[in-house]
């Protein structure tokens, strides 16, 4: 079945460090891919998305490229800030059924000043 695998956390970085959070997926067909972010005490918010192979989603300095050949959608940011501390979730939806949005387990990121 469809699934998403994220790198285990927690990830701890110093401010201005480079961030990579790995995400790989298993799905038939051509899924759409998402990154959601959850700040402490809040619900999830959509960070970025990509709907077809080689698309690059970007927002708030974060980027992720849909790589069909490696079934990956790794999240990157060149210089993290303390305010980026949150839990990041990779997710996919196959076809057009948002009701079947599959989430990864989440990766906790802590950024120290």
Partner 1 sequence: NAGVTQTPKFQVLKTGQSMTLQCAQDMNHEYMSWYRQDPGMGLRLIHYSVGAGITDQGEVPNGYNVSRSTTEDFPLRLLSAAPSQTSVYFCASSYVQGQINSPLHFGNGTRLTVT
Calpha distance 78→36 (Å, rounded):
18
Q: Is 63 exposed, middle or buried (0-12, 13-18, 19+ CB in 10 A)?
A: middle
By C-beta, is 17 or 59 nearer to partner 1?
59
Calpha distance 13→103 (Å, rounded):
24
Shortest gap between Cβ of 89 and partner 1 (angstroms)?
6
Calpha distance 81→48 (Å, rounded):
18
Contacts with partner 1 by CB under 8 A lie at 4, 32, 34, 41-46, 49, 51, 89, 93, 95-101, 103-106
Shortest gap between Cβ of 91 and partner 1 (angstroms)?
8
By C-beta, is 42 or 69 nearer to partner 1?
42
Shortest gap between Cβ of 90 and partner 1 (angstroms)?
9
Copy the structure tokens of residue 57: 């989603």
By C-beta, is 20 or 45 nearer to partner 1?
45
């Amino acid at each position: 079945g469809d699934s998403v695998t994220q790198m285990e956390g927690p990830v701890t970085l110093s401010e201005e460090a480079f961030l990579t959070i790995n995400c790989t997926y298993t799905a038939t067909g051509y899924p759409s891919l998402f990154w959601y972010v959850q700040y402490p005490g809040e619900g999830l918010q959509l960070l970025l998305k990509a709907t077809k192979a080689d698309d690059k989603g970007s927002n708030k300095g974060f980027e992720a490229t849909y790589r069909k050949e490696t079934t990956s959608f790794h999240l990157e940011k060149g210089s993290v800030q303390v305010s980026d501390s949150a839990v990041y979730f990779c997710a996919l939806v196959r076809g057009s059924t948002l009701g079947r949005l599959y989430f990864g387990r989440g990766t906790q990121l802590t950024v120290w000043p």
